Amino acid sequence: MPLKLVSPKPGRTPFYWVRGTYLGCYVERSTGTSHRRLAEQIRKRTERDIERGALAEPKGHGFAAAATAYMRAGGDPRFLAPLIRSFQHTPILHIDQVAIDNAAASLYPDASAATLNRQVYTPISAVLKRAGIERQIKRPKGWRGRRLTTWLSPEQAIAAFKATDLISAPAATRAEFRILLIVLLYTGMRLGDSLKELVWERVELPPPNGPEKSGTVYLPVTKSGEPRQVHLPPIVVAALEQHPRGVQRHGRVFRFHDGGRLRDMFDMTMERAGIILPPRVAFHVFCHTYGTWMRRYGGLDTHDLVKTGRWADAGSADRYAHVVVHEMARRADLLPIAADLLPLGGARRKAG
């Protein structure tokens, strides 16, 4: 009996399926396409494969079972639900580049390449690797996104801190918001970490009259998946000690939530400070400023930045290398010049 096509089921899978028994071989697999004409070609090709014995190999585990095993082993469950509904019991051996590309296009037709990589390609790759399948998966063009690195000068940062006094909010809220900005800039902490993971129970401040002026805070969960022990420089310690709700408390250090009101306060602060930022930068400008200042003023190289725990690898931290003039570039001072071209003084090294 010929194999048959099963139509897509809205909310479960956007693809046609090939199902049935042909010459004693049972088949139940996704075609990886929502186009009936192409699906029909795949159905006929599957029958030909059965006829020549190409499908004699074991079917193997389905994607849903492999994804479940991956999550039970501690894998990240985010973004897997739509993929499980899409592939269901498709044998993982059959999930190739074409199937992944089609799933990405069907599930997120208007998404950017970076989003597709994060929500389709990366989780599928993780599930396959956990199941023991090492497959080279080509990511969508432009998946790395644009590496925007915008930072504040010291003058701009100071202006931003002062501008928090000018925004439309109660005095205590303005003070707490200013402390939040100081924490973000001088620790490199992400906004999400500062709002959710930064709790007083994990903050260690120095004794009021002790010689040590810096403190620490432990973040058990960060975006990189690794915990981080964060150094609190003296300016952060001084800011936290001026917290309008005090420091001898329990729970979150900042009562803000990442929403429209917080974003409005940020926009008002930048406007009052006369700072114009590129679109979609917002609070992350303080993380970039931390990295830039640590390179420029702290003297750290890429390897040192990774050691701070703020960046997971050198590839992420290397984006700040351009803010410091490399020693080799300074050799341009030694290049020959003509003395009569100098507006003031003589040449240190005359052309021969």
Distance CA 327, CA 344 (A): 25
Q: Which residue has the tokens 């994607």?
A: 63
Q: Over the stretch 105-160, which tens digit does the pLDDT of each residue have? A: 999 998 888 889 989 999 999 999 988 888 889 998 877 655 556 889 999 999 99
Distance between alpha carbon 86 and the CA centroid of its chain, in Å? 25
Q: State residue 343's pLDDT score.
A: 59
Give the per-residue SS3 of the chain.
CCCEEECCECCCECCCEEEEEECCEEEEEECCCCCHHHHHHHHHHHHHHHHCCCCCCCCCCEHHHHHHHHHHCCCCCCCHHHHHHHHCCCEHHHCCHHHHHHHHHHHCCCCCHHHHHHHHHHHHHHHHHHCCCCCCCCCCCCCCCCCCCCCCCHHHHHHHHHHHHHCCCCHHHHHHHHHHHHHHHHHCCCHHHHHHHCEHHHEECCCCCCCCCCEEEEECCCCCCCCEEEEECHHHHHHHHCCCCCCCCCCECCCCCCCHHHHHHHHHHHHHHCCCCCCCCCCHHHHHHHHHHHHHCCCCCHHHHHHCCCCCCHHHHHHHHHHCCCCCHHHHHHCCECHHHCCCCCCCCECC
**∠ CA 218-315-278, rounded to 5°:** 85
The strand pairing partners of 218, in sequence order, are 229
Distance CA 49, CA 33 (A): 19
User: Higher-confidence residue: 285 or 148?
Assistant: 285
pLDDT of 291 over the 70 cut: yes
Q: State residue 346's pLDDT score.
A: 47
pLDDT of 253 over the 80 cut: yes
- In the chain, the N- to C-terminal Cα span, in Å, equals 91
* 50: CB partners within 8 A, 6+ apart: 22, 23, 25, 27
pLDDT confidence band for 352 (50 / 70 / 90): very low
Distance CA 216, CA 200 (A): 11
Indicate the range of 146-155, 176-185, 321-330, 343-352 predicted with least confidence: 343-352
Q: State residue 350's pLDDT score.
A: 46
Q: State residue 141's pLDDT score.
A: 86
Q: State residue 295's pLDDT score.
A: 85
Q: State residue 223's pLDDT score.
A: 67
Q: Over the stretch 50-103, which tens digit does the pLDDT of each residue have? A: 777 655 544 567 899 899 999 999 888 989 999 999 998 888 888 999 999 999
Encoding tokens for residue 159? 């202006």
Q: Over the stretch 200-242, which tens digit does the pLDDT of each residue have? A: 999 999 887 777 788 999 888 776 667 888 899 999 999 999 9
Distance CA 120, CA 84 (A): 11
The amino acid that residue 273 corresponds to is A
For residues 15 and 28, the answer to whether their CB atoms sit within 8 Å is: no
Give the per-residue SS3 of 277-343.
CCCCCCCHHHHHHHHHHHHHCCCCCHHHHHHCCCCCCHHHHHHHHHHCCCCCHHHHHHCCECHHHCC
71: left (phi over 0), alpha (psi -120 to 50) or beta: alpha
* 272: CB partners within 8 A, 6+ apart: 163, 166, 167
Q: Which residue has the tokens 């993380």?
A: 287
pTM of structure? 0.57
* 130: CB partners within 8 A, 6+ apart: 66, 69, 70, 73, 75
Encoding tokens for residue 103? 């799933």
pLDDT confidence band for 22 (50 / 70 / 90): confident
* 54: CB partners within 8 A, 6+ apart: none
> Quick one: angle between helices 122-130 and 80-87, nearest 10?
70
